[in-house]
Amino acid sequence: MSEHMDVNIDLSILEVEPAGEYHAKADRFLSSHQLLDFIRCPWLHRKKSIGLVEDSDSASYLIGRAAHVRILEGREAYETAFALGGPVNPKTGKPFGSGTKAFAEWAEVQGKPVLSHDQMDLIEQMASGVAMNNQAVDLLLYGRSEGVVRAEYCGTPCQIRIDWVHPHRGIVDFKTCDDLTWFEADARRYGYHRQALRQGHQRLPRLVQGAGQAGHSPRRPGADREHGFGRRHE
């Protein structure tokens, strides 16, 4: 985004909507992830849209979702959305491993996604890394996390739940990866460039006032409000 562009985004246009409620409307509104599915395989996209195929989950996706909540929405939302830790072995005083029967039985009754102690440690390391990144801190100094926008584009109802919107810097897209060395390959594999293009097209005219369009903020990680920066701009 040009440093000389005068951007003033009306954050009140962003709807507050839980992730589950947002995803439940996927049968009525096209999202960037659905569009990527269609690009890869229209038939697979159709099967997913009518509920014949469910999205597979993985440890990497779980950690990515948890990092989004922990870093962009704050610790309280993180602790509400996920069951953290796990049972402790009374004989050793240490947590049971995530591959043990005791951990599996504990996870089964939690009623929400679970994170092991090792996964929690990894997410906290991510949050600390974000807090030490001055550019990330600047991007998440003000704004709103996970705001929802719906609009019709080319005759198709669309929706987006934006990681973070800064009122003067635009969209901040938070990405996690297993190894930073291969991030460029991951970007091509998961179509991040297509997501960026679609995010730019989907925004409502009222979302940006004074500039006509806000460019994309660099894909840097967000900031942890627990450290005092990353305040919501209501």
The pLDDT tens digits of the residues spanning 160-206 come to 999 999 999 999 999 888 888 888 888 888 777 766 655 554 443 33
* CA-based R_g, the chain, Å: 19
User: What is the arithmetic mean of pLDDT over 64-72?
Assistant: 95
pLDDT at 57: 74
User: What is the arithmetic mean of pLDDT over 77-81?
Assistant: 95
Please determine, for residue 2, whether its predicted confidence score (pLDDT) is greater than 80.
no
Assess contact for 28 and 20: CB atoms under 8 A.
Answer: no
Please determine, for residue 95, whether its predicted confidence score (pLDDT) is greater than 90.
yes
> Can you tell me the distance from the alpha carbon of 81 to that of 66, in angstroms, rounded to the nearest whole number?
8
Beta bridge partners, 85, equal 116
At 50, list the tokens: 């009518």
pLDDT at 211: 27
Neighbours of 195 (CB within 10 A): 20
pLDDT at 195: 65
pLDDT at 150: 95
Q: Any idea where the domains of the chain sit in the sequence?
A: 8-232
Residue 216 — φ and ψ, nearest 5°?
-90, 135
213 confidence band (pLDDT: 50, 70, 90)? very low
Cα dist. 123→15, 127, 128, 231 in Å?
27, 6, 9, 20
Average pLDDT of the residues of the chain: 81
> Can you tell me the distance from the alpha carbon of 147 to that of 16, in angstroms, rounded to the nearest whole number?
6
Strands 114-116, 170-172: pairing kind: unpaired
Task: Tell me the percentage of the chain whose pLDDT exceeds 70.
Answer: 80
The CATH number that domain 8-232 falls under is 3.90.320
Please determine, for residue 114, whether its predicted confidence score (pLDDT) is greater than 60.
yes
- DSSP-based three-state secondary structure for 7: coil
pLDDT at 3: 54
Neighbours of 40 (CB within 10 A): 10
> Can you tell me the distance from the alpha carbon of 186 to that of 133, in angstroms, rounded to the nearest whole number?
22
H helical segments located in the chain: 19-23, 32-40, 42-49, 59-68, 75-81, 101-108, 117-131, 134-139, 183-190, 192-202
> Can you tell me the distance from the alpha carbon of 95 to that of 87, in angstroms, rounded to the nearest whole number?
6
Higher pLDDT, residue 11 or 203: 11
Residues 145-163: tens digit of each pLDDT: 999 999 998 999 999 999 9
